[in-house]
Amino acid sequence: MADTLTTHGNGHAAHHGDYLDDPKGLASWLTTVDHKRIGLMYMWSVFFFFLVGGIFALLVRIELLTPKQTIMTAEMYNRVFTLHGAIMVFLVIIPAIPAALGNFALPLLLGAKDVAFPKLNLASLYVYWTGALMAVTTLALGGVDTGWTFYTPYSSTTGGGVTLMVLAAFVLGFSSIFTGVNFIATIHKLRAPGMGWFEMPLFCWGMYSTALIQILATPVLAITLLLLCMERVLSIGIFDPQLGGDPVLFQHFFWFYSHPAVYIMILPAFAVISEVIPTFSKKTIFGYKAIAFSSVAIALLGFLVWAHHMFTAGMSLFAGAIFSFITFFIAIPSAIKVFNWIATMWRGSISLEAPMLHAISFLLIFTIGGLTGLFLAALSTDVHLHDTYFVVSHFHYVMAGSNLIAFLAGIHYWWPKMFGRMYNKRLAAIGAALVFLGFNATFLPQFVLGSRGMPRRYYNYLPEFQSLHVASTIGSWILASGLFLIGAYLLASLRQPKSMVANPWGGRTLEWETDSPPTTHNFEGQPVLQHGPYDYRANPAPVGVEEHIH
Amino acid sequence: MNWFQNWMLPKAAATHAGDVDGLYMFIVYLTIFFFFFNGALILYAVRKWRRRSAKEVTPHITHNTKMELIWSIIPLFVVMGIFFWGFKGYVKAWVPPNDSMEIVVTAKKWVWQFEYPDGTRTLNDLHVPLNKPVKLVMHSEDVIHSFFVPSFRLKRDVIPGRYTELWFTPTEPGVQQVFCAEYCGKGHSDMLARIFVDTPEQYETFLREGDEQVRKMPLKDLGKLVYENKGCATCHSLDGTRGQGPSWKGIWGETGKGADGKPYTVDANYIRQSVLQPQAVVVQGFEPIMPTFQGLLREREILGVIEFIKSVK
Ligand code: HEM
Ligand SMILES: [Cu+2]
C-alpha cells in the first residue's frame, strides 16, 4: 500500500540508464569506483561469507547435540568454532553494515555523487578480498584452533595456519580503516547544500561514530597482530612467559581494539534502525540529538572499558573496580536509544513492512542483549559468568541478533532502491518471524547453560547440560531456515523487471528522491535540502532539484 | 520463585555465593521486567497506531527534555547500584582470611595438580575440610587455564609465569565440579577436577590415608613414590653407592651394628623405627642426621616404604 505513496522526484524513466546496467560487463564492475557498485559487491561477499560462517555454526551446533563425540573429533571441533568466529567477526559482522549498506546508502543520504575518495573505496574492497582469501587459505594449512581471540601463549605455540590467519585479520583491518577514513571525509565535505550536521540522517551519525572507532582502534589491533606474528616466527618474547614475555599483555592489547570493535559491530545497527523506524512510523524521530550524541558517546566510552573482559585474569582490585564502573556508563546511551525509538513509534502511523518487522525484532533482542551486559559489567556476577555460555549468548544477542537483524532490516529497506525490484512481502514477513523465533530458541537456552556453569568452547560436556543444548540446536535450524527463506525470495525478486517507484516507503531522506535504482551519478543535478530528514509535516513535500550540467 | 533460581544457578556451596546470587537474580528480574515492559509498549503502539491509510498525518514531536532526563537518570541510579553491589561481592571474594589453608595448584594440559601443606599431592581430586577457608595459589606450566567452580561462583585464570590466588570457604559437604574455563586446546573440555568437601572425620581419614589414588596404589609403588617425592632419595641410593645414609640396596634382612655397638636386623619394625625415630639406632659409620618423618608420612606410606625396600635387591 505504501508503494504508491510518492512518485515525485525523478521517478520517470532515467535518461542515463541506471548504475546496475551502465556500463555493462564484469570488467566494468571490477574496476568501478561507483560507491553503489562497491557496496553491492561488498554485500554479495558478506552474504557469501555469512553462508560459510553459518555452515560452520550449524556444524558446531550438531556436534553439541550429544555430550561426547557426535560428528567430528575434538581437533576438528576447535578448528570449526575458530573459523566460525573469525569469519563471522572479521568478514561478516564488521563489514556488513558499514561496507555494504554504508557504501551504498551514505552518499545518497548526504545528497552526494560518491564518497570522498572513490579509488580508495575500491582499494578497500580489494584489500577485503585479499584478507578473505588469506583467511580461507588457512584451511589448507591445517586450520586454526585458537578461537577468534588468539590468546597467547596458546596462539604463539599451537600449529596450523595461525600466522596466516593473524595476517589476514591484519589485512582486513586496513580495509576497515580505509572505509572509515572515506566516510569521515565524505560526511565532512560532501553533504548537500543546506544540510547542517544536525540535518544529516541519523544513519550518517552512526557511520561517523563507527568510522571514528575504525581509524582510532584498528591500528592497535594491527600492531598487536604483528607482534603476535613476530612472536610465532621470530620468538621475540613479548607474550610468551617461556621467553620472558607476559601473556596477559596480549589480552590488554587485543581488547583495547576488540572492545571498541564490538561497537563497530553495533553502532551501524543503531544507524539502520534510526532510519527504518521513522519511515515506517511516518513520524519524526524522537530525540534526534540524543541519538546522535549517544552514538558518539558510545564510540568514545568504548575506548575506556576494554579490561572488563579480564576481570578474572588477575587484575588488581582497583583496576577491576574502575573498569567495571566505566562499563556501566555504556548502558545509559544504549538505554536512551531504545526509549527514543519506542517514543518515535508512539502516536505514529505504523506500517509493518519487512524492514519494520526486523526493526521491532531488533528492539526486543537488543533489550535482552544490552541488559545481559549488566551481569557481565558487575564484578561479582562476571566472575561466575565469564567464559561461560552466558557470555556466548550475550554477545550473540548483540552481534548476531542485533547487528545481523538490523542488517536484514537495512537490506529489506534499501533493496528496492538497490535493484528497482520488490521482494515477496508475505514471505518476507514469514522470514522475519522465523529469524526472530529461531534466534531466541537458539540463544535463550544458552543463558541458562552458562549460569548453570557450562564453560564456552567445550567439545565434551556433562550430561546434565544436554537438554538445553538440544533446544539450542533445534533453534539453530529454525534460524537457518528463516535465513534461507530470506535469501531465496531476495534472489527470486531479481528475476522480475525493474519497476520500482522512487520512494516505495514514503521516506523523507534524500535517497528516496532519486530513481530506483539510481543513475550512476545518483541524482540529476545537485539536490538541495528543503526539509529535515524525518520531517513529515508537509505531506509529502517535494524536494527541489536544481538542474546542473554533469 | 525459588525453583526459578534453582533452575538458573547450581546449588550454592561456598560462603560468598549468596551475595552473587542475590545480585544475579536481581538483574534477571530487571531484564525480564524491561523485556516485557518494552515489548508491551511496542505491542501497544503497533496495535493502536497501525497505519490505516496512506494519508495519515502524525504529530511532529521532536523531543521532550523532561522525559529524556527521567529515562537517563533512573537507569543511571539503577546501574550505579548494581556496580556497588557487584563491587562489594568482588572485594569479599578478593582477600583471603589469614588462617586459610594454602594449597598449591598447578595446571597443565590437561590436568590439575594439587599440593597440600603436608606435601601430599593429588591429581584432579581436591580434598578440603568443610567450613574452613582454603586459599589456592595457582600457576600454569604451559598456556592459560582458568579454575572455575560454578557452585562456589568463583573463577580465576591460571597463568604461566605468575601466581594467581583464589579462596573460598565451602559450606556444603559433598563433591563440587571444577571446570577449566579458559580455552587451552584439545583436552580443554576434559580438564575437569572435583572438589571433595569433607566433614572433619572424612578429612582426617584423607590426611591419614591419602585419597583414593594413594589408597589403591600397590604398596611397592607407593613406597617408590615416597622415596622419590619425600626426600629419601637425597641420602639413600638404590644402587649401593654410599650417600649421606646407607644405600637401600639389598639391606632387607641384613644385620648390622649400631653406633653404640648393639646389633640390629633390617625388618619391618626396624624400618618403621628408623623413619619415625631415626636417632634410636644410627648405623655405624654414619652421622645422626636423618630427620624424623613423624607426621609427614601416613601409615600406609610407611608400609609402602617397607615393601619398596624389600624389593631393592
Ligand atoms: C552495545 C551493544 C553491545 C555489544 C555489541 C556487545 C558486545 C560484546 C561482545 C562481542 C562480547 C564478547 C567478546 C568475547 O569474549 O568474545 C561482550 C562481552 C561483554 N559485554 Fe557486551 N556488548 C554490548 C552491550 C553491553 C553492555 C550494555 C554492557 C554493560 C553494561 C556490556 C558488557 C560486557 C562485558 C562486561 C563483557 C565481558 C564479559 C566476559 O567476558 O566476562 N556489553 N560484549
Ligand atoms: Cu585448561
A105, three cell numbers: 546508502
Q: Residue B60 and residue A532: Cα distance in Å, rounded?
A: 12
Q: Where are the domains of chain A?
A: 30-548
> Taking 60 as the threshold, does the pLDDT of residue A143 lie above it?
yes
Distance, CA B214 to ligand 2 centroid (Å)? Answer: 25
B253, three cell numbers: 634382612
Pocket of ligand 1 (CB under 6 A): A 149, 262, 265-266, 308-309, 327-328, 330-331, 334, 370, 373-374, 376-377, 382, 386, 391, 394-395, 398-399
* DSSP assigned state of A50: H
Q: Grid cell 550475550 — which residue?
A: A394
Tell me if B2-49+61-94 shares its fold with B217-311: no
Residue of A nearest to B82 (CA): A378
Distance, CA A369 to ligand 1 centroid (Å)? Answer: 9
Look at B76 and A506 and tell me if their CB atoms are within 8 Å: no
| Single-letter residue type at A249 | L
pLDDT score, position A16? 60
User: Which residues, including other chains, have CB under 8 Å from residue A506's CB and lie 6 or more apart?
Assistant: A2, A5, A6, A279, A282, A512, A540, B54
Q: How does the average pLDDT of chain A come out, rounded?
A: 90
| Single-letter residue type at A63 | E
| Residues of chain B neighbouring A460 (CB-CB closer than 8 A) | 189-190
H/E stretch holding B36 reads helix B17-48
Among all ligands shown, which has an atom nearest to the Cα of A366? 1
Q: Residue B139 and residue B145: Cα distance in Å, rounded?
A: 9
Among residues A239, A295, A289, A238, the alpha carbon closest in space to that of A263 is found at A295
Sign of the torsion formed by the C-alpha atoms of A76, A82, A86 and A89: positive
> Chain B, 26-45: which have a CB under 8 Å from a chain A CB?
27, 30-31, 34-35, 38-39, 41-42, 45
Q: Residue A185 and residue A24: Cα distance in Å, rounded?
A: 30
Q: For A152-190, write each residue's pLDDT tens digit.
A: 888 888 888 889 999 999 999 999 999 999 999 999 999
pLDDT score, position A538? 66
> Chain B, 73-132: which have a CB under 8 Å from a chain A CB?
75-76, 79-80, 82-83, 85-94
Q: For B136-151, write each residue's pLDDT tens digit.
A: 999 999 999 999 999 9
User: Which residues, including other chains, have CB under 8 Å from residue A26's CB and lie 6 or more apart?
Assistant: none
User: What's the whole-number mean pLDDT along residues A448-469?
Assistant: 96
Q: Residue A245 and residue A231: Cα distance in Å, rounded?
A: 10
| Single-letter residue type at A32 | T
Among residues A63, A283, A319, A461, the alpha carbon closest in space to that of B62 is found at A283
Angstrom CA distances, A514 to A3, A18, A203, A296, A518, stand at 15, 11, 18, 30, 6
The answer to whether the beta carbons of residues A203 and A275 sit under 8 Å apart is yes
Closest approach of B238 to chain A, Cα-based (Å): 35
> Taking 50 as the threshold, does the pLDDT of residue B159 lie above it?
yes
User: Which residues, including other chains, have CB under 8 Å from residue A245's CB and lie 6 or more apart?
Assistant: A152, A153, A231, A237, A238, A239, B161
Q: Residue A177 and residue A254: Cα distance in Å, rounded?
A: 17
Q: Which residues pair with A329 in a beta bridge?
A: none
| Single-letter residue type at B245 | G
Which of B38, B49, B62 lies closest to A350 in CB terms?
A: B49
Q: For A31-74, write each residue's pLDDT tens digit.
A: 999 999 999 999 999 999 999 999 999 999 999 999 999 999 99
Q: Residue A220 and residue A222: Cα distance in Å, rounded?
A: 5
> In this complex, is the C-beta atom of A286 within 8 Å of any C-beta atom belonging to chain B?
yes
Fold for B2-49+61-94, please state it: Helix Hairpins (1.10.287)
> Taking 60 as the threshold, does the pLDDT of residue A498 lie above it?
yes
Q: Where are the domains of chain B?
A: 2-49+61-94, 101-213, 217-311
For B101-213, CATH number out of 3.90.180.10, 3.40.50.1820, 1.10.150.120, 2.60.40.420 equals 2.60.40.420
Among residues B180, B193, B17, B166, the alpha carbon closest in space to that of A387 is found at B180
> Taking 60 as the threshold, does the pLDDT of residue A148 lie above it?
yes
pLDDT score, position B199? 92
B192, three cell numbers: 575437569
Helix (H, G, I), strand (E, B) or coil at A398: helix
Q: For A63-83, write each residue's pLDDT tens digit.
A: 999 999 999 999 999 999 999
pLDDT score, position A429? 97
> Taking 90 as the threshold, does the pLDDT of residue A230 lie above it?
no
> Chain A, 237-276: which have a CB under 8 Å from a chain B CB?
241-242, 245-248
Q: Which atom of ligand 1 is nearest to the CA of A265?
A: 5
Dmax over CA atoms of chain A, in Å, equals 72
User: What's the whole-number mean pLDDT along residues A197-219?
Assistant: 92
Q: Residue A369 and residue A401: Cα distance in Å, rounded?
A: 8
The answer to whether the beta carbons of residues A110 and A147 sit under 8 Å apart is no
User: What's the whole-number mean pLDDT along residues A125-153?
Assistant: 91
Q: Residue B179 and residue A211: Cα distance in Å, rounded?
A: 40
* DSSP assigned state of A537: S
Among residues A455, A381, A376, the alpha carbon closest in space to that of B16 is found at A381
B253: left (phi over 0), alpha (psi -120 to 50) or beta: left
pLDDT band at B1 (very low <50, low <70, confident <90, very high): low
Q: Residue B30 and residue B138: Cα distance in Å, rounded?
A: 36
CATH superfamily of domain region B217-311: Cytochrome c-like domain (1.10.760.10)
User: What's the whole-number mean pLDDT along residues A437-456?
Assistant: 97
Q: Residue A161 and residue A137: Cα distance in Å, rounded?
A: 8
Sign of the torsion formed by the C-alpha atoms of A39, A133, A145 and A305: negative
| Single-letter residue type at A543 | V
Fold for A30-548, please state it: Cytochrome C Oxidase; Chain A (1.20.210)
Among residues A229, A129, A132, A122, the alpha carbon closest in space to that of A179 is found at A122
pLDDT score, position A31? 93
